[in-house]
Amino acid sequence: MEFTAKQLAQILKGTVDGDENATATRFSKIEHGKPGSLCFFANPKYEQYVYTSKATIILVNNDFQPKESVGATLIRVENAYTAIADLLKYVSSKKRKTGRHRSLRARFYPTTRFGKDVYVGAFAFVGHHTEVGDGTVIHEHVYIGDDCKIGKNCIFYPGVRIYPGMVIGDNVIIHANAVIGADGFGNVPQPDGTWEKIEHLGNVIIGNNVEIGANTTIDRAQMESTVIGNGVKIDNLCQIAHNVQIGDNTVMAAQCGIAGSTIIGKNCIFGGQVGIAGHIKIADHTTLGAQAGVIGNIRKSGEVLIGSPVIPVRQYMKAYAKFKQAAEE
């Protein structure tokens, strides 16, 4: 990348405070800023670095008033954190591949329907009667089964596996080695102590603007659909079981596990390693701290819970204080 301060201000709808011809060729954290780098300042605890950073350009909020001299050119924007996210997205979009790989090692069929500007990498496979929307990027070694519907401007990174019959919306990003549509963990105990597999004939439906981390698995429904709502963000190494429903704009950090047929509300936030039992409901705007264990319904919207089993965070902290005090006696 290479941008002048003037170009960045135009892209981010900001204003230049300093040399509009100052040029940045790379990103860096503000505490690691070097000549030629672009940083951003949004968290007050990092203000000291604004004055000591060697970065060429720093994005700051419009209302930032320096207490000392600043060597870098400042670009003032409404929200520096949002601006850097928008800029990273802009730069990433310029690097996206287009066009199908010319090698026969990428395999698809006459019944496969591609939109405009679709990229299919080497050794990728796209099955019969699958539809792929405009601008989607299918990287090397991706498998997409038969009868899938893939939206526009998706990105599937190497090693992604999408089973037959899956439905994926627009602007979906799926990172390396994620698996969409494997059978759920359903088995029936037999009189002789063995287990009989329950076949899963449903699918997974993923909404628009979803991001799914590397090595995450989302199981197909036994019947009907496992549903991931619009705007959901799922980190690496998460497990979403069969028939789960996740509401719009819910986010979860790495190693979360959601058991079967659980319904998650909208705008929930789950920390790392959260575990949720099956066949329960979790209200909208629920926040679960790291390693929280949920074994029953959460009916009240907006609660912040922690522990295993979960309890309200204030109650947990009081109990922990007493536990710590008892341990020290």
Tens-place pLDDT, residues 288-308? 999 999 999 999 999 999 999
Mean pLDDT within 257-262: 96
Q: Mean pLDDT across the chain, nearest whole number?
A: 93
Residue 219 in domain:
no
Residue 190 lies in a domain: no
Do the domain assignments include residue 15? yes
Residue pair 107/125 in contact (Cβ under 8 Å)? The answer is yes
Q: Which residue has the tokens 């790495």?
A: 254
Question: What SS3 class is residue 165?
Answer: coil
48 within 8 A of 70, measured Cβ to Cβ: no
Instruction: Report which of 60, 5, 69, 61 is spatially closest to residue 30, judged by C-alpha positions.
Output: 60
Tens digit of pLDDT for each residue in 215-227?
999 999 998 999 9
- pLDDT grade, residue 263 (50/70/90)? very high
Count up the domains in the chain and report the number. Answer: 1
What would the two tokens of residue 282 be?
């979790």
Query: Any idea which of 44-58, 100-114, 133-147, 205-219 has the lowest mean pLDDT?
Result: 100-114
Cβ pair 30, 45 in contact under 8 A? no
pLDDT of the residue at 102? 44
Token couple for 245: 């429903």
Instruction: State in Å, rounded, how far the first CA of the chain is from the last one.
Output: 60
- Please state the rounded mean pLDDT for residues 199-213: 96
pLDDT of residue 329: 67
Residue 327 lies in a domain: no
Q: Is residue 195 part of a domain?
A: no
Q: Which pair of tokens denotes residue 75?
A: 């670009």
Over the stretch 47-100, which tens digit does the pLDDT of each residue have?
Answer: 999 999 999 999 999 999 999 999 999 999 999 999 999 998 888 776 666 665
- pLDDT for res 46: 93
Kindly state whether residue 46 falls inside one of the protein's structural domains.
Answer: yes
Q: Is residue 117 part of a domain?
A: no
- Range of 55's domain? 3-94
Q: What is the CATH number of the domain that holds 32?
A: 3.40.1390.10
Strand-pair category, 269-270 with 281-282:
unpaired
Lowest pLDDT segment from 7-21, 78-92, 191-205: 78-92
Specify the pTM.
0.84
Q: How confident is the model at residue 234 (pLDDT cuts 50, 70, 90)?
A: very high
**What residues are labeled active site?**
242
Quickly count helices (H) and strands (E) in the chain: 4, 38
Amino acid, res. 320 = Y
Q: Could you give the CA distance from residue 69 to residue 53 in angstroms, rounded to a whole number? A: 11
pLDDT tens digits along 154-178: 999 999 999 999 999 999 999 999 9
- Burial readout 60-79 (b: 16 or more C-beta within 10 A, e: otherwise): bbeebeeeeebebbbbbbee
177: left (phi over 0), alpha (psi -120 to 50) or beta: left
